[in-house]
Amino acid sequence: MNERVKLIRKQLGWTQEQLAQRFGIGKAALSMIETGKAGLTNRNRNILVQELNVNPDWLETGEGQMFNAEPDLQAFMLRTDSSLPMQSVPLYSIEGTAGLVPLFNNQQEYKPVDFINIPNLPKCDGAIYIVGDSMYPLLKSGDIVLYKQLQHIEDIFWGDMYLLSIEIDGEEYIMVKYIQKSDREGYVKLVSENRHHAEKEIAVSRIRALALVKASIRMNSLR
């Protein structure tokens, strides 16, 4: 598959920097994928198939046409985030904010536990520690995700990673998941990186807060 990823990039006329940007990874990480030193994640496979119209059968086997239709480059062209030379991103404790909904609605009322100073990153609204292993091995419990809050479900880029709050039986559940389209109207599909966690469809009406994950920080890589 690594050779086919490179062929796709060449067919699009993109540099490694451009495809790496679309995947949300560095050029070195893409180079490892193209040379077979690293695998293609489910997230990036979904970007190729869902947004760039790559034929999934061709991607897996090399048989058939490379594209199902002309690649949809509009989403890529619209996602030209401008990086800031330096920004100080507030790091929040969910336990201290009573959940994502109050944090997103009244962020100025909550005191950050710390600030993260990162250069050359698109604007972020905040950062939180994550809990759970649904995104393992990409993310582990205790890692930090930096996010950009979204106001409307229509703003989703399908296949990307999101921080979201879901209401189930009157309680709030906070999670980090890939969000994909569902065949059921009014629903979305939540997908984990961890293959032991089955994908789940939920009603859009259950989503109480939503943010695009812009970056992550590994805190426990030595464990």
Give the model confidence (pLDDT) of 49-77 as tens digits. Answer: 877 889 989 999 999 999 987 665 655 54
Cα–Cα distance measured from residue 106 to residue 215, given in angstroms and rounded to the nearest whole number: 22
Under CATH, which architecture does the 83-217 domain have?
Ribbon (2.10)
Record the tokens describing residue 210, joined without a space.
């939503």
pLDDT band, very low/low/confident/very high, at 177 (cuts 50, 70, 90): very high
> Is-contact 2 36, C-beta < 8 A?
yes
At 7, which helix (H) or strand (E)?
Answer: helix 2-12
In tens, the pLDDT along 119-164 reads: 878 889 999 999 889 998 888 999 999 999 988 887 787 888 999 9
pLDDT, tens digit (0-9, with 9 covering 90-100), for 3-25: 999 999 999 888 888 888 788 78
In this prediction, residue 223 carries a pLDDT of: 43
Q: What's the confidence (pLDDT) of residue 4?
A: 94
Domain ranges of the chain: 2-78, 83-217
User: pLDDT digit string (tens) for 20-47?
Assistant: 878 878 888 899 899 988 888 888 888 8
The helix (H) or strand (E) run that includes residue 29 is helix 27-34
* DSSP of 67-91: BSSS---HHHHH--PPEES-EEEEE
- pLDDT reported for residue 110: 86
* 3-state secondary structure string across 61-73: HCCCCCECCCCCC
Contact between 93 and 128 under an 8 Å Cβ cutoff? The reply is: yes
Using an 8 Å Cβ cutoff, are 66 and 7 in contact? yes
pLDDT of 178 strictly over 90:
yes
Question: CA angle, corner 133, sides to 204 and 147, nearest 5?
Answer: 55
Domains 2-78 and 83-217 share a fold: no
For residue 115, give both structure tokens.
């600030």
Pairing mode, if any, of strands 126-129 and 87-92? parallel
In the predicted model, what is the mean pLDDT of residues 80-105? 80
Q: Residue 76's pLDDT is what?
A: 53
| Secondary structure class of 184 (helix, strand, coil) | coil
Architecture field, domain 2-78: Orthogonal Bundle (1.10)
Pairing status of strand 83-84 against strand 200-203: unpaired
Residues 96-100, mean pLDDT to the nearest whole number: 76
Asked if residue 138 lies in contact with residue 193, where contact means CB atoms within 8 angstroms, the answer is yes
**Are 168 and 17 contacting, i.e. CB atoms less than 8 angstroms apart?**
no
